[in-house]
Amino acid sequence: MPEGASAALLGALREIVGPGAVLSRPEDLLVYEADGLTVHGALPSAVVLPSDKTEVQRVVRACRAHGTPFVPRGAGTGLSGGAIALEQGVVIECSRLDRILRVDAENRIAVVQPGVVNAELSKAVAPHGLFYAPDPSSQLACTLGGNAAENSGGPHTLKYGTTTNHVLALELVLPDGEIARLGSPVGVAPGYDLVGAVVGSEGTLGIVTELTVRLCAAPERADTLLGIFGDVVSACRAVGAIIASGLVPAALEIVDKRTIAAVEASVYAAGLPQDAGAVLLVELDGPARAVARQLERVRALCAAAGAREVAVARDAEERQRFWRARKGAFGAMGRLAPDLYVHDAVVPRAKLPEILERVCEIGDRHRLRLSNVFHAGDGNLHPNISFDRRDPDELRRVTAAGEEILRVCVEAGGVISGEHGIGTEKRDYMRLVFSDADLAAMCRLRAAFDPDHVCNPGKIFPSTRFCMESDPKARGYDRVELA
Amino acid sequence: MSAALRKLIDALGADAVFIHEPRAVEGAKLEATLRPAGGEALAAALRLLSEEALPALVRGGGTRLGTANVPCRARVLLETQGLQEPLEIDVEEGVARAPAGAKLSALRGALAGSGWELPLDPPGSGTTLGGALAASAVGPRFASPRDVVLGLGVALASGERIRCGGRVVKNVTGYDLAKLFVGSYGTLGVIEWAWLRLRPVPEETRVCVAPLEPGADESALAAARRPSARAAAVVDAALWPEALPDGASRALVVELAGDAAAVEDDERALASALGVARAEAGAIDALRDAQGAGPLRVRIAALPGGLADAAAVLRAGGGAVLTHPARGLLWARFALDGPEDERGTEGALRAAGEAARVAGGACLLEAAPVAAREGREVFGGTSATLALERAVKRQYDPLGILNPGRFAGGL
């Protein structure tokens, strides 16, 4: 249990945001002990909820004056421990900066505050025939500031790209308390692409207080096709065939048998066939006639890969139901066990069949309940391990299997995270992917923004005193205790 | 200098180091040219340049040498065309690892028949991959090199060789450093190779052209936003006289590409709305050449809604304009009466500055004689985040040996 913030710092924070927007009682802080990855926990010393950028700036300066690190947090839906405060830091929650400041339909951009919920933006711009493309499964809760920190993806990033492809400009409170405006709404700004560097930096380079994002034109037609397969490996083969054919569906998602069972037993039930080994959800969007033609090509490719049946959603309502089932899959897993560990490795898509076989074998060998629901079109696996952390032996097996899975994926030419980020969760595995020189090069960026390591310290980099080589002021962190 | 050059010869071999009479390039006097034959040699060269504090002008194909601030404070030329490790194309995956020294034309040739194409098409024959990425060079079809790069191999100023990103299409494993190097004009590191995300060759491609009345900007924007439009430009007659019907002052050129049915539908829609007629596929190459030509050329980036006003200002100032309506980009070419034409230069730059101002956009002086660039910020004003950018530069190139003085803000 941390000591809590000093009375002086708490006083300063209350002065800035008002007493109601500072949380410091242990029972209030408990909510912030973890993000969506519940096995990594650390209590913050305080939580502060600023309502505008000036308050964010003053909070940052107050933390600095008191030598306390700080961590930006959106909705806390992240899955890598990125939004937890190590070192008794202060959590700066951005949920009150929740306004859509401007929608410019003619130029297809929107200016938003970081606390705007992802799905709310698409809802707000729908009357203009526009939408915001990145759509993480948590889009009904997660915020755009958090999406920018994590470079979030989602099912539709196969065609439309991830958050980094959609953020044009950022306003950022830098770790020294200065406010910087990076990038430009016109998409081209003189100087280095600092927007590109900040998006995906997991809240370690500053606190985003405003985003200018690109909006996309809603397609004339979208169809969702359901390929029903006897096993997950043949569904993966269909994915490889679709990619190699040059088709670019809006989404290509695989849901395996265990996941189907969990979903169908939950409120997200969509009538997915429970006797199937896996279903492949294919969404095609674009001009109506093109979609109709591509649907036939996908149907043939699925059949050739061994689909026992290929069904097309009959109407918008059924289509929505399929997607609710897909996006609700993580929630439905709660039915299987108290805890869920979600991996996020990415592999070349052509290697999906063999990798999936090995992933399943690893789960079986460690006697774990492993299920797969993932962005197959991006090669982005999400092996989900359902477990009970109160069982120390099972927790040990979960960790061991996870590490094995990551190694298999990296050996196949992959990486350890496609959209969830490194956070505290995978920082010890960064050396599977990168050399010390590669990591030191990342630390140089960190040193340019945050030489004192006060902004979300302890994330991304291996837990040895890694960044010290490129920045002697950096401090090292030991492995986070598993709760 | 001579002791330093001797060390370079020892490290790279005599056939990779050329000592010559001081040569004036970009305001610098270059006393030697280095042509490292691969990544290791490049790293060795950079290590020595760092040790000797000897700054270098980094050059790929040389097609964008003039898009930079002057004078460059370099003393040697570092050429990257020797970075030629074998090209690796993964046709199942639609990705390729390509060396920085490869010419884009060679990469296109190697991809022919694979079902995939290179989503980079900047003007300039001889442009190398490394140069195109370092300069974030765009063309009529593909406007975003940053989104094409999946991973990079980079040699830092210290001589350390690093890798960022990877070969997979989705990746948040650590900082996205590739974004930092793409578009940094070689001031943070030298790109050795890149993993690129290819695009499937479209099933159908058609180019359509129509004369466009002045004031038809909204129609042009609507055309450029057709679902299958992958290149769309409004081009002034002066930039492309042979393609225009008699008497027309400007033309709309659209390339439709993708699903055959979508292309057909879009072509029909454009024919009925604007009277477009089918043109030869080579029209897009002509469009690319029009973009890259001229002794004095500016590029303005603005919101689509601001382009028409900017174009009007540029035309009034004597510029011939090429607009990409949906992308918010335009180029204006100005004639000069020789490289010393100060009046012509002044007039053109005044118009460009005014155009950027009315459009609320950013102006890049893409080409101009060295004399015209002296004392000017080619990248269009100083960045509001210059202190931060200086900190980044100091981290990656503390001694300032990579293209010193060339980039925005004199970085």
CATH of the domain at B362: 3.30.70
State whether B107 and B133 are in the same domain: yes
Domain span at B259: 204-285
Query: Class of A220-336 per CATH?
Result: alpha beta
CB contact under 8 A, A191 and B408: yes
pLDDT, residue A468, reads 53
Q: Which of B176, B200, B224 is the last residue of a domain?
A: B200
State whether B186 and B215 are in the same domain: no
Query: Phi-psi bin for B26: left (phi > 0), alpha (psi -120 to 50), beta?
Result: left
- Cα–Cα distance between A381 and A325 in angstroms, integer? 18
CB contact under 8 A, A414 and B115: no
pLDDT, residue A465, reads 60
pLDDT, residue A208, reads 98
Beta bridge partners, B320, equal: B333
Beta bridge partners, B330, equal: B300, B323
Q: Which amino acid is at A442?
A: M
On whether residue B393 sits in a domain, the answer given is: no
Using pLDDT thresholds of 50, 70 and 90, give the confidence band for residue B178. very high
Fold of A339-433: Alpha-Beta Plaits (3.30.70)
**CA–centroid distance for B141 within its chain:** 13
Contact predicate B136/B146, CB 8 Å: yes
- The CATH number of the domain holding residue B47 is 3.30.43.10
A100-217 domain in CATH 3.40.50.12710?
A: no
CB contact under 8 A, B168 and A415: yes
Q: Which residues of B touch A180 (CB under 8 A)?
A: 384-385, 388
Average pLDDT over residues B361-381: 91
What would the pLDDT profile of B90-118 be if each residue is shown by its tens digit? 999 999 999 999 999 999 999 999 999 99
Using pLDDT thresholds of 50, 70 and 90, give the confidence band for residue B290. confident
On whether residue B54 sits in a domain, the answer given is: yes
Beta bridge partners, A224, equal: A283
H helix intervals, B162-229: 177-181, 217-224
* Contact status of A428 with chain B (Cβ, < 8 Å): no
State whether B273 and B305 are in the same domain: no
pLDDT, residue A433, reads 97
- Cα–Cα distance between B87 and B28 in angstroms, integer? 34
pLDDT, residue A482, reads 30
- Cα–Cα distance between B44 and B59 in angstroms, integer? 17
* Contact status of A460 with chain B (Cβ, < 8 Å): yes
Task: Return the structure tokens found at B340.
Answer: 């010393």
pLDDT, residue A479, reads 30
H helix intervals, B192-321: 217-224, 260-274, 283-292, 307-316
pLDDT, residue A463, reads 64
| Closest Cβ–Cβ partner in B94, B154, B174 for A460 | B174
CB contact under 8 A, A106 and B304: yes
**Does the model's ipTM exceed the 0.85 cut?**
yes
Fold of A7-93: 3.30.43
pLDDT, residue A480, reads 32
CB contact under 8 A, B174 and A442: yes
**pLDDT below 50 — which residues of chain A?**
1-2, 472-483
* Contact status of A410 with chain B (Cβ, < 8 Å): no
pLDDT, residue A424, reads 94
Mean pLDDT of chain B: 94
On whether residue B388 sits in a domain, the answer given is: no
State the total domains in chain B: 4
CA distances, A273 to each of A250, A306, A377, A385 (Å): 23, 16, 22, 22
CB contact under 8 A, B147 and A434: no
On whether residue B218 sits in a domain, the answer given is: yes
What is the per-residue DSSP string for A41-106? ----SEEE--SSHHHHHHHHHHHHHTT--EEEESSS--SSSTTS--TTPEEEE-TT---EEEEETT
Average pLDDT over residues B285-298: 90
Find the residue in A nearest to B329 (Cα): A186
Average pLDDT over residues B257-275: 96
pLDDT, residue A467, reads 72
Residue B339 has pLDDT above 90, yes or no: no
Task: Return the structure tokens found at A386.
Answer: 């359902």
- The CATH number of the domain holding residue B212 is 3.30.70.260
What would the pLDDT profile of B186-224 be if each residue is shown by its tens digit? 999 999 999 999 999 999 999 999 999 888 889 999 999
Q: Do domains A220-336 and A339-433 have the same CATH topology?
A: yes
Q: Tell me how many residue pairs between chain A and chain B have CB atoms under 8 A apart.
A: 249
Strands A109-112 and A207-214 come out as: antiparallel
| Closest Cβ–Cβ partner in B179, B261, B381 for A290 | B261
pLDDT, residue B143, reads 87
The domain locations on chain A are 7-93, 100-217, 220-336, 339-433, 435-483
State whether B55 and B6 are in the same domain: yes
Beta bridge partners, A225, equal: A282, A312
On whether residue B380 sits in a domain, the answer given is: no
State whether B151 and B178 are in the same domain: yes
Task: Return the structure tokens found at A328.
Answer: 């609700």
CA angle A358, A360, A364 (to 5 degrees): 115
* Contact status of A331 with chain B (Cβ, < 8 Å): no
